[in-house]
């Protein structure tokens, strides 16, 4: 199995807290890659998400170039807001 180096790639991740079957879970998704993961904690969801991204990129290596970050690239944190109506 080929190992993919992740240090030069960036993926935006959205973490949502959901109630599923009476229990609270955290779901990690991304607008950048078609991967999602669920965990009992945020850390567990993130670890599963990272593993999912690695597996996805092994299966679809052509998508890797869309996530690569050059030295000159600068990414800003996406703005997430919650409003109450």
- Taking only the tens place, the pLDDT of each residue in 2-50 is 444 445 788 888 999 999 889 999 999 998 899 999 999 999 999 999 9
- 62 assigned to some structural domain: yes
- 58 assigned to some structural domain: yes
- 1 assigned to some structural domain: no
Residue 53 or residue 81, greater confidence: 53
The dihedrals phi and psi of 53, each to the nearest 5 degrees, come to -65, -45
Strand partners, 25: 18
- 3 assigned to some structural domain: no
Burial class (CB within 10 angstroms; exposed 0-12, middle 13-18, buried 19+) of 33: buried
- 73 assigned to some structural domain: no
Instruction: Write the DSSP symbol of residue 54.
Output: H
- 49 assigned to some structural domain: yes
Structural domains counted in the chain: 1
Residue ranges making up the domain that contains 49: 14-66
């Amino acid at each position: 199995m080929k190992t993919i180096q992740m240090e030069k790639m960036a993926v935006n991740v959205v973490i949502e807290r959901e109630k599923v079957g009476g229990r609270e879970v955290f779901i990690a998704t991304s607008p950048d890659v078609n991967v999602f993961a669920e965990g009992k904690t945020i850390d567990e969801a993130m670890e599963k998400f990272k593993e999912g991204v690695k597996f996805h990129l092994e299966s679809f290596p052509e998508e890797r170039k869309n996530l690569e970050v050059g030295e000159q690239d600068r990414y800003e944190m996406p703005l997430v807001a919650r409003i109450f109506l």
